[in-house]
Amino acid sequence: MRISIHTFGTRGDFQPYLAMALGLQARGHDVQLAAPRQFAATAEKHGICFAALPGELLNLIGTPEGKAALTRGKGFGAGLGLLKHARPLMRDLLDADWNAVRSFAPDLLIYHPKSLAIPHISELIGVPCMLASPLPGFTPTSAFPTPILPFSNLGPLNKASHGLATRSASLLFGGLLRKWRASLDLPPSARPHTPLATLYAYSPRVVPRPADWGSDVLVSGYWFLDAPSWTPDPDLAAFLTEGEPPIYIGFGSMPGLDPQQLTQICVEALARCGKRGVLATGGGALAHTANTPLVRTIAEAPHHQLFSYVGATIHHGGAGTTGAALRAGKPTAACPFFGDQPFWARRIAHLGVGPPALDRKHLTPDRLASSIMVMDDPDMRARASSIGAAIRTEDGIASAVEFIEKIMQATPRTAVPR
């Protein structure tokens, strides 16, 4: 098959889809990956055909407007503050996705929930599409509410709440989508074409598969992209192995809202509980600080390799980082910035493998130190070790590839209307 995979977002929204592209390519399929142009070099290094999408929307998070929105809001509410800046850029992204599909002529489209154009393009060209998401919320269920809302349970309203996610694109970008569809000679509707199937790229040990989901929904396990060739430099290698395993603290692609202050909080917290730490500056949430006997600062490192050396992890609660931390079998704590991160923080606490979410806006050295010490609890460490061992037995990519092939073999091309 010729399969075009479309994703949009930060590194955590890109790496799982690159891993899936590699898995499909290894099975003999012709694969194209469409993603922000910032990831072109990474995709090409792995030998994947890459279609570059505009990067301006992705850059928005690091602008003064983006930082202001993150400072004022939390969860998915933070993103709403960027809508007026995002809307003028969205049309170029829709057109770029269409150009990528048109030039590749795929038999199947696989798309991230943020790739708003793809279900409409599926309708246009009569090619099936499958939704692939790193978080639940796009298949209604009574088991839990949509991750968009800051609640772990809404009881009888759980199932209805998922309409917020499934209709979010129509609610936020309805006018733009209708105009864009008109340019493609599609009927003037902002509602997307229904996907043929849905894949969720997380472990069922972390979010169990609801009993009310049908056979067209797969919870495959995580789609990890590992870098087996990575080794720490000599200084970092010595630091990682010279004493008690250090605490990893890093906030992925999150921007620097006040990196000096957050770094100081982390350093002071480590000192107060007598722990050593590795601080990853990543997207700028943390600042570089001088090496001391207690602290090493790095830009970034592959989580799979680095987390095997540490005693616990503290991070932003992104889906990918949460999965990597849980797979490592170490206690983990989340300090969410926005989006689905509060949802994963709640799952961490619910599973008993980490403390309740840290409040970024009211974080202090004492509060962070308290969470670090909680992660020394033997029962918590045992639970983390157990769930890590279970996740390491899963092969999410293989399960997803098998599911995709099975669905496509049972689906005549004519079953999808033009």
Q: What are the domain boundaries of the chain?
A: 2-222+394-415, 234-392
C-alpha pair distances (Å), 240 with each of 52, 234, 313, 326:
38, 10, 14, 19
pLDDT score at 73: 56
- Number of residues in the chain: 418
Q: What is the CA radius of gyration of the chain?
A: 21
Question: How far is it, in rounded angstroms, from Cα 191 to Cα 130?
Answer: 16
Residue 383 in contact with residue 375, Cβ under 8 Å? no
- CATH architecture, range 2-222+394-415: 3-Layer(aba) Sandwich (3.40)
pLDDT score at 58: 76
Question: Fold for domain 234-392?
Answer: Rossmann fold (3.40.50)
pLDDT mean over 200-217: 97
pLDDT score at 80: 57
Select the more confidently predicted residue: 208 or 166: 208
- For residue 192, the 8-state DSSP code is P
The strand ranges marked E within 61-220 are: 108-111, 129-133, 197-200, 217-219
pTM: 0.92
Question: How far is it, in rounded angstroms, from Cα 196 to Cα 394?
Answer: 24
Domain pair 2-222+394-415 / 234-392, same fold: yes
* Residue 418's pLDDT band (cuts 50, 70, 90): very low
* Residue 415's pLDDT band (cuts 50, 70, 90): very low
